[in-house]
Amino acid sequence: MNAVFDELLPDLLARARSAIPRPMRGKVRRIRGIMVYASLPMARIGELCYLRDPLDQRRIAAQVIGFEGDEALLTPIGDLQGMSTRCEVIPTGAPLTVSVGDHLLGRVIDPLGHFLDGPAPASGPTRHYPVHGEPPAAFSRSLIEHPLTLGIRAIDGLLTIARGQRVGIFGEPGVGKSSLLTSIVRGTAADVIVLGLIGERGREVRELLDVQLGAQARARTVAVVATSDRPAMERVQAAHVATSIAEYFRDQGLHVLLLMDSVTRFARAQREVGLAAGEPPTRRGFPPSFFAALPRLLERAGPAARGSITGLYTVLTEGDGSQDPVAEEVTSILDGHIVLSAALAQKNHFPAIDVLRSRSRLMDNVVRPLQRQGAAQIRQSMALYADVQLLLQVGEYSAGSDPQTDAAIARQGSIEGFLRQDANSCSDYEHTVRALLELLQ
């Protein structure tokens, strides 16, 4: 008898939930900053709603993020300009989802799935993915065993990225993060590229997609865009939508490269939403919800049972980033970090990758022993040169005092030539490894 009851219980609960009447309309009570307070009985956190003005019929999407007394707190995924307390709140009873499919390849969308680069395709999508998906279970993930070519010699040779790895790209503004991402998109061996532009300048979006990428790279790229002028919740959702699209292509068994520029702007938008909702500020003004939201976003990337998502996340830093909570949190979660140096950028050394401060935690798992040993020797040579660089500049180093240092000094010019790379060129992985080993001869 108990077994029969246990078998029927899920169906009975589902029928009971469906029988509960849901309100057709709610009412906006007040609007404060970016937060909308509404009477919306039986609303649920994460539920998608629409705010509609009955006079001009304009409506915008909003999401329930919390409750205060008998009021629901909603943040708009759109511009609140013109909204008033006469607005109705129309609940959908469902969380935010995004339309997915091959029709997205080569296109640009906003966080609500609206096409920004032209009309929607004639044939509509057949599937929807939740925007806030769950990361794959730990023991359902496949092991990381293969490198992913990015076409950048400094990365492929000395900081090899594995297929399914998650890496942060750290640097101050103006050191070439966006240019590096563009070169990676053109040179990567990934099947599909998903590009999340979070808080980007509106001027740079079309220039990046239509001019810098090129037709071949653009055809396998999906771009999710929320520029810096868009509301905070829209910028937050753009990061999650880009990840959901990457999850769809991963579930098709493909190897996806997810590029997010930038996590810092996602963090600032999340802070704006949290503080507006009344959360207490903690480190650098970030509310507690940010430190919970960040790992939920980043853990969704990586390998799965079939397919993988290799994640590259840019982080804006101030100085060395040692006091930046966003940089610290991202570094502790991800599987490696690539540091871009302002000093190298000032010398016109691009990509301005500081190899000695960068590390790929999974490189040793996926490269051949010969490359592993060669990369270690190159790093050691660069470290020896860095130790005596100041002495060389002031003329205080005596040649012959240490044979290893002498060899490092002699080799430094060739190493710098190897690390420099034109933004419009990409290097084959095998060619990169051969060039790396030739530096040691």
pLDDT, tens digit, 9 for 90 and up, residues 331-376: 999 999 999 999 999 999 999 999 999 999 999 999 999 999 999 9
Question: Which residues have CB under 8 Å from 92's CB, separation 6+?
Answer: 47, 48, 49, 50
173, two tokens: 């503004």
* Higher per-residue pLDDT: 247 or 41: 247
**222 contacts 248 by C-beta, under 8 angstroms:** no
Pair 353, 306 in one domain: yes
Convert the pLDDT of each residue in 105-116 to its tens digit. 999 999 988 998
- Residue at 357 is within a domain: yes
- Residue 13 pLDDT greater than 80, yes or no: no
Pair 417, 382 in one domain: yes
- Residue at 18 is within a domain: no
- Residue at 246 is within a domain: yes
Residue 265 banded pLDDT, cuts 50, 70, 90: very high
- Residue at 253 is within a domain: yes
Pair 144, 205 in one domain: yes
Pair 392, 357 in one domain: no
| Final residue of a structural domain among 95, 117, 143 | 95
| Final residue of a structural domain among 67, 95, 123 | 95
Residue 11 banded pLDDT, cuts 50, 70, 90: low
Average pLDDT, the chain: 87
Pair 351, 379 in one domain: no
Peptide bond into 41 cis (omega under 30): no
Convert the pLDDT of each residue in 366-387 to its tens digit. 999 999 999 999 999 999 999 8
Q: Hey, what amino acid is at 171?
A: G
CATH number for the domain spanning 435: value is 1.20.1270.330
What pLDDT, on a 0 to 100 scale, did the predictor assign at position 4? 46
State how beta strands 35-39 and 71-77 pair.
Answer: antiparallel
Residue 319 banded pLDDT, cuts 50, 70, 90: low
**The Cα angle at residue 289 between residues 287 and 294, in degrees rounded to 5:** 110
Residue 53 banded pLDDT, cuts 50, 70, 90: confident
Pair 281, 356 in one domain: yes
Pair 303, 433 in one domain: no
Residues in the chain: 441
3-state SS of the chain: helix, strand, coil percent to 5? Answer: 40, 25, 35
Pair 342, 392 in one domain: no
- Residue at 8 is within a domain: no
- Residue at 90 is within a domain: yes
Pair 87, 104 in one domain: no
Convert the pLDDT of each residue in 170-198 to its tens digit. 999 888 888 899 899 988 989 999 999 99
What pLDDT, on a 0 to 100 scale, did the predictor assign at position 281? 87
Place of tokens 């690390």: 419
CATH number for the domain spanning 257: value is 3.40.50.12240
CA 82 to chain centre: 32
Domain count, the chain: 3
Measured distance CA(433)–CA(441) in Å, rounded: 13
CATH number for the domain spanning 37: value is 2.40.10.170
pTM comes to 0.88
Residue 6 banded pLDDT, cuts 50, 70, 90: low
Pair 264, 394 in one domain: no
Pair 241, 316 in one domain: yes
- Residue at 16 is within a domain: no
| Final residue of a structural domain among 307, 333, 366 | 366
* Higher per-residue pLDDT: 57 or 6: 57
Each residue of 36-49: b (16+ CB within 10 Å) or e? Answer: bbbebeebeeebbb
Domain that holds residue 42: 23-95
Pair 173, 250 in one domain: yes
